[in-house]
Structure 1
């Protein structure tokens, strides 16, 4: 069940509290009224993410209280919420050992002085209980510690096996209330799982929660799979597979497992990327020694050629409004980034730094383009504005590649290859400041990540 709801505004809440969509399957939520208390006249805490550098907000998350023997599950839920917020780079969960109050009742007013003493600016109090019908009920309140005011309060009901997703949704609600923007924790990532020796890897398509949990395999590993891409409008994925040595492009529905062939493309150089409305894909096909970019309408399967040059044009990616496409090309003598109209008109070079640029991906916000840059034997992940200005390197290493955006455009995931016979790729995230890089732990080598849109 998915509900649209507007949360009632607590007293003196800022205008940044926006309408938000509750995203959960078989999950029900209700707003909790503000607890009455006398509040000092101070502005509510809020993170201004329009700044170039954001100091992480100190936030306290004592373990959710519990009844009915749910203490372990309550602790795990709290850990998932804290880890989600920490990975964003905007929050600094405080060490639980510093807490004066180790447990809080979600229905009671906290002793704010105890939390001010450890410099907590925001506080989350929650309770997890099991209902007579077997469902879990989770309720939480987000408090501004220095203003001594409730910022948001919610309660949710869900089946026990859905607890991790419930934790992600709570983290999204906290993130949105404190930043004014949508969260991205209730999402998934499709990637290529790699096993076996380095010179003979088995590559399977897999999917996981954005934090690396709940890995599920989508292909058996009989055929090589490469470069999966999520649709921005549904839970569909395109990917390349070499069956019988012939590269084919498949469209896979994650929920139903239904798979269909988009086409066999012997000259394909990169898997297709979807248009913002999910109705078409753009791809690069190689013919007679050069590669050009084509668009395919998914309804009619009709292809339209967008570039016509003697160079190699590849790795196309739509802008979020669907009006432009960024791609890489060696038409200037080396791999550089170009932007053109969605119909192939007026291509303009936007990258002019030293080195070679590749794998451009337009941010869902439209304000940045992520890329891979190779220079001096190192691979970097960076961002630039759509006109090429403001280039910034976020991270570099022996071999970094394949950036993909979180749906709110503030975090990137990529893969990093390690050297040596036993080396292989692993997944990492980095925020757009470049200050918060974290590894996403998986049981196998992992590459080619693609971030999903928010779940319904």
Structure 2
């Protein structure tokens, strides 16, 4: 039984008792256009023709792995198509020299990225790179990161973020992680474990041992602090967990069952639902004082609170009208009003980090969909639809969503879709998983911040 069905069932029982096969990013195979104007990637309406970028092999230790990760990141965004290296005419590019521009325009490259990994005397490596527009024959960006050799994968993500931002004007999202519920086994041997993985699906790690059922893991605004719900043999608790120290702390015991936690944007509060006295309502706890405030009191089942980025409002799910719909209220519980307007059932709302949109799961006609709407409920549109999917979580740049999708009679996996709905694929993680939560961009410590290596010569 999936997450929202489980939570609603738990609430309903208490009231009654009064106690991607891996999918590939869809991209038409069309010839690269002959560029005449400035390099730019338009992403507001989605990209029909991916941008042809030549990612030349990086030299030095781990250079080939760095090249692969950068190319895979850019391809996964749906806006770029890294070119086949066998088509490259010029090889052995050096950071000391500009590329031979005609040899890149000849093969249709709209941008050229190359770099090197250079060991330092202090045991760290310099990861330098340059990005050029071969048609205008100018440099788009030149950067250097300094980090330990073991951090090559993170640096690869950060380089991809710099390229993505320079080419699209939007912040990147590759240097982030995904928190999720890893599923394994069947029947009585079925395990549910809290797990975390890099944004590209690499390096999955288990954070719990499978002795509890894990639900609704969520990140704080700090990428090393999370909150989640755990069901044991004779208890249910909400835990705060620090990924850096592995310290776990319970929010305490409540008069009633608490579930569905989510941090406020500043990380000082946690909103969640409590089943108490026949009602399921939304509460918020101040983590500094541990003071608990009740925000809703309707006889319906009120769940899944999510703060707006400025913390002034909360979107939540309620069946008070007879069917699960989305409601918005002020952060103090005042001004509660419905915003979803279509047919079907709306669940799992998540406010975009940009503040402009609210994502949700919608079920109607025997199918489930992942969609978005404006914060006032207008402009609803469906991004993905399948036999079963739920629980969308926003990428840190507010341009992508990750969610769980299950095939009929098959496993549940993590999937990703962009705001146009044209870029949809199974995430890089190939294992069984549900209820993903996307982290903010990771902190730069302990690596040194990247440094621009001279001015860009291409006008924006």
Residue of structure 2 in register with 1:152 after alignment: 141
Selected match of 2:224 from 225, 235, 241: 235
Would you say 1:257 and 2:246 are equivalent positions? Answer: yes
Selected match of 2:128 from 139, 164, 184: 139
**CA offsets per residue over residues 135-165 of structure 1, 9 Å max, x none?**
3222100111211101111122221111100
Residue of structure 2 in register with 1:437 after alignment: 424
CA distance in 2 between counterparts of 1:269 and 1:391 reads: 31
Residue of structure 1 in register with 2:197 after alignment: 208
Query: Which has the larger displacement, 180-189 or 365-374?
Result: 180-189
Residue of structure 2 in register with 1:308 after alignment: 297
Q: Is the 8 A contact 1:172 1:185 kept in 2?
A: yes
CA distance in 2 between counterparts of 1:269 and 1:402 reads: 19
Residue correspondence of structure 1 range 348-363 to structure 2 within 5 A: 348-363=337-352
**CA offsets per residue over residues 387-416 of structure 1, 9 Å max, x none?**
111111111111111110011100111111
Structure 1 gap segments, 5+ residues each: 1-41
Residue of structure 2 in register with 1:318 after alignment: 307
Flag the structure with more relative contact order, 1 or 2, with Cα contacts below 8 A and sequence separation at least 6. Answer: 2
Q: Is the 8 A contact 2:314 2:328 kept in 1?
A: yes
The total of aligned residue pairs comes to 409
Selected match of 1:126 from 99, 106, 115: 115
**CA offsets per residue over residues 83-126 of structure 1, 9 Å max, x none?**
11122222222222322234422321111112212322111011
Structure 2 gap segments, 5+ residues each: 1-35, 444-460
**CA offsets per residue over residues 66-99 of structure 1, 9 Å max, x none?**
3xxx3xx211111111111122222222222322
**CA offsets per residue over residues 161-202 of structure 1, 9 Å max, x none?**
111001011111111112222211111111111111156421
Residue of structure 2 in register with 1:59 after alignment: 53
Selected match of 2:397 from 405, 408, 413: 408
SS of 2:240's equivalent? Answer: strand
Residue 294 of structure 1, CA deviation: 0.6
CA distance in 1 between counterparts of 2:324 and 2:188 reads: 27
Query: Which has the larger displacement, 189-198 or 358-367?
Result: 189-198
Residue 357 of structure 1, CA deviation: 0.6
CA distance in 2 between counterparts of 1:52 and 1:125 reads: 26
CA distance in 2 between counterparts of 1:437 and 1:52 reads: 12
Would you say 1:171 and 2:171 are equivalent positions? Answer: no
SS of 1:120's equivalent? Answer: coil
Query: Which has the larger displacement, 48-57 or 362-371?
Result: 48-57
Q: Is the 8 A contact 1:269 1:314 kept in 2?
A: no
Cα–Cα, structure 1 residues 265 and 112, in superposed 2: closer, same or farther, change >3 Å?
Answer: farther
Query: Which has the larger displacement, 294-303 or 101-110?
Result: 101-110
CA distance in 2 between counterparts of 1:446 and 1:198 reads: 16
TM-score, normalised by the number of residues in structure 2 = 0.85
Query: Which has the larger displacement, 361-370 or 280-289?
Result: 280-289
Cα–Cα, structure 1 residues 118 and 354, in superposed 2: closer, same or farther, change >3 Å?
Answer: farther
SS of 2:162's equivalent? Answer: helix
Cα–Cα, structure 1 residues 329 and 199, in superposed 2: closer, same or farther, change >3 Å?
Answer: farther
Residue 320 of structure 1, CA deviation: 0.4
CA distance in 2 between counterparts of 1:449 and 1:170 reads: 24
Misfit runs of 4+, over 6 Å = none
TM-score, normalised by the number of residues in structure 1 = 0.85
CA distance in 2 between counterparts of 1:257 and 1:377 reads: 41
Residue of structure 1 in register with 2:79 after alignment: 90
Q: Is the 8 A contact 1:295 1:304 kept in 2?
A: yes
**CA offsets per residue over residues 372-393 of structure 1, 9 Å max, x none?**
0101111111111111111111
Residue of structure 2 in register with 1:447 after alignment: 434
CA distance in 2 between counterparts of 1:434 and 1:279 reads: 34
SS of 1:220's equivalent? Answer: coil
Residue of structure 2 in register with 1:370 after alignment: 359
SS of 1:208's equivalent? Answer: strand
CA distance in 2 between counterparts of 1:120 and 1:266 reads: 63
CA distance in 1 between counterparts of 2:255 and 2:47 reads: 46
Residue of structure 2 in register with 1:327 after alignment: 316
Residue 207 of structure 1, CA deviation: 1.1
